[in-house]
Amino acid sequence: EGKPVVRPRVRVEPKTYMANERTLLHWLSVSSLVAMMSLALVRNESRRSSPVVLLTGTTTCCVSLLCMCYAVKLYFARGRLISSGQNIPFDSNGPLVITVTIAVTVVVAALVQTGVIQLPHLPHLEH
Query: pLDDT per position in the chain (127 positions), as tens?
Result: 677 776 666 777 889 899 999 999 999 999 999 899 888 878 876 666 677 778 778 888 988 898 899 999 999 999 998 888 777 777 888 888 878 888 887 787 778 777 776 655 555 555 4
DSSP structural state of residue 125:
G
Q: Which helix (H) or strand (E) holds 59?
A: helix 51-84
Nearest alpha carbon to residue 23 among 65, 75, 67, 69 = 75
Q: How far is CA 80 from CA 30, 58, 75, 86, 114, in A?
A: 24, 34, 9, 9, 48
Cβ–Cβ under 8 Å, residues 51 and 125: yes
Q: Quote the pTM value.
A: 0.70
